């Protein structure tokens, strides 16, 4: 089973709202990732969690706040977003942080109004 | 800085018309090169990992090859369901994936 699940599939939020994106994997992977993908662009890495600890933060604005409650779950808390933050947010996982293959979830389509 | 360049940007094929996609890369210390398939509005689907020059991997109508400077994804006798964006990514010693911009393939029946 190489499934990574993400909820919700779609999210529309205003610039003053607070919302969260959720990601879950049951493959026993110890590394989890958040990516942002704009239309017709490749995914851009935002955060890497390794053994439930934040190991890479790609200088992402503080209005994005990641959280890893346990080894299977990864959240992305959103607050005071801007319209330019509208994108497809992808979660991925890999067996180890140094492992090669990353498996992606279906993504959450976020629209900020 | 790691660089990944994919060509062409878009490829329109007739069903059964074989072709190749190119991924050229510049990276310090290649740990692996990856091919993903992405359908519109969905997450990338893992296809192949290539580790060293000369290596080849196959899956159905797809075959990936690797040299020291580039990788090719060959699509043999494509079908309309092969229509997608194909992403190439490299992983260097810092373990992060660097993606190319992708090649959008459209296969007409």
Chain B CB contacts of A106 under 8 Å are 42-43
Closest by Cβ to B87, choosing from A2, A42, A48: A42
Q: Establish, for the pair of chains A and B, how many residue pairs have beta carbons separated by less than 8 Å.
A: 49
Closest by Cβ to A101, choosing from B46, B96, B102: B46
Given this model, what pLDDT does residue A1 score? 55
What lies within 8 Å, CB to CB, of A103 at 6+ separation is A2, A3, A4, A25, A27, A29, A92, A93, A94, B46
Please state which of the ranges A49-53, A76-80, B62-66, B74-78 shows the lowest mean pLDDT: A49-53
Asked if omega into A8 is within 30° of 0 (cis), the reply is yes
Task: Tell me which residue of A14, A60, A67, A62 sits closest to A35, measured CA to CA.
Answer: A60
Q: How many whole angstroms separate alpha carbon B105 and alpha carbon B88?
A: 14
pLDDT above 70 (res B2): yes
pLDDT above 90 (res B4): yes
pLDDT above 60 (res B26): yes
How many alpha carbons fall within 13 Å on the CB side of residue A81?
24
Task: Tell me which residue of A83, A84, A101 sits closest to A92, measured CA to CA.
Answer: A101
**Cα A26 off chain centre by:** 16
Given this model, what pLDDT does residue B89 score? 95
Q: How far apart are the first and last CA of chain B?
A: 41
Given this model, what pLDDT does residue A46 score? 95
How many alpha carbons fall within 13 Å on the CB side of residue B41?
4
Closest by Cβ to A107, choosing from B42, B87, B100: B42
What averages of pLDDT result for each successive group of 10 residues across chain A (113 residues)?
Answer: 88 94 95 94 93 87 94 96 97 85 95 96
Please state which of the ranges A46-50, B8-12, B101-105 shows the lowest mean pLDDT: A46-50
What DSSP character marks residue B44?
A: -
Q: How many whole angstroms separate alpha carbon B54 and alpha carbon B68?
A: 8
Q: What is the mean pLDDT of chain B?
A: 94
Interchain contact, B97 vs A45, CB within 8 Å: yes
Which of the four pLDDT bands, split at 50, 70 and 90, describes residue B95?
confident
Q: How far apart are the first and last CA of chain A?
A: 36
Which of the four pLDDT bands, split at 50, 70 and 90, describes residue B97?
confident
Which of the four pLDDT bands, split at 50, 70 and 90, describes residue B71?
very high
pLDDT above 70 (res B53): yes
Please state the rounded mean pLDDT for residues B27-45.
92
In chain B, which residues touch A (CB < 8 A)? 31-32, 34, 36, 41-46, 49, 51, 87, 89, 91, 95-97, 99-102
Where residue A80 falls (left for φ over 0; alpha for ψ -120 to 50; beta otherwise) is left
CA distance B56 to chain A (A): 16
């Amino acid at each position: 089973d190489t499934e990574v699940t993400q909820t919700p599939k779609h999210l529309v939020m205003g610039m003053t709202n607070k919302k969260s994106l959720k990601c879950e994997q049951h493959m026993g992977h110890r590394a989890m990732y958040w990516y942002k993908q704009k239309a017709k662009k490749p995914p851009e890495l935002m955060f890497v969690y390794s053994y439930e600890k934040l190991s890479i933060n790609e200088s992402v604005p503080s209005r994005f706040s990641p959280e890893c409650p346990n080894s299977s779950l990864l959240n992305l808390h959103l607050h005071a977003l801007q319209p330019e933050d509208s994108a497809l947010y992808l979660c991925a996982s890999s067996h180890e942080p140094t492992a090669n293959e990353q498996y992606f979830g279906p993504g959450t389509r976020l629209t900020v109004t | 800085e790691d660089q990944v360049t994919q060509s062409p940007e878009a490829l329109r094929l007739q069903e059964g018309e074989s072709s190749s996609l190119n991924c050229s890369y510049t990276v310090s210390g290649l740990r692996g090169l990856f091919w993903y398939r992405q359908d519109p509005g969905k997450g990338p689907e893992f296809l192949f990992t290539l580790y060293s020059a000369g290596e080849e991997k196959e899956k159905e109508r797809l075959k990936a090859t690797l040299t020291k400077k580039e990788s090719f994804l060959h699509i043999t006798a494509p079908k309309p369901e092969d229509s997608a964006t194909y992403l190439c990514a490299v992983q260097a010693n810092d373990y992060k994936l660097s993606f190319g911009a992708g090649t959008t393939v459209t296969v007409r029946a």
